[in-house]
Amino acid sequence: MVEAHALRDLSDYSFPRSKALVLEFFLRLTVGRKLHQWFPQRFSPFVFDLVLDTHLNYSEVLHLSKGWINRVKRSMAATASAHEVTS
């Protein structure tokens, strides 16, 4: 059950919906990957690279990516609040 919840969070919150975070998302995919290759102790892999790692459970990926996932969640909550105010 823990893995199912982790997979749901990863699928719901890995890709941002705000324009600012979409830009950061693509920067992390390109620049972040290179930085992780060059300095793996300093820069952690991005969430999509972790999901592809067959040695990690979804709950582990969620834990390692919690900073990014929380940023996406907060941006979605802020967007939803803004829509409620304008409606």
In a domain, 10, yes or no: no
How many domains is the chain built from?
1
pLDDT tens for residues 19-28? 889 998 998 8
> Residue 87 and residue 83: Cα distance in Å, rounded?
6
Q: What is the pLDDT of residue 87?
A: 54
In a domain, 23, yes or no: no
Number of Cβ within a 10 Å radius of residue 50: 19
pLDDT tens for residues 34-70? 999 999 999 888 888 888 888 999 999 999 999 999 9
What's the number of CA atoms in the CB half-sphere (13 Å) around residue 70? 5
Domain hosting residue 48, numbered range: 44-73
Which residues have a Cβ under 8 Å from the Cβ of 73 and sit 6 or more positions away?
13
In a domain, 64, yes or no: yes
In a domain, 60, yes or no: yes
Q: Are 28 and 46 in contact (CB under 8 A)?
A: yes
> Residue 85 and residue 68: Cα distance in Å, rounded?
26
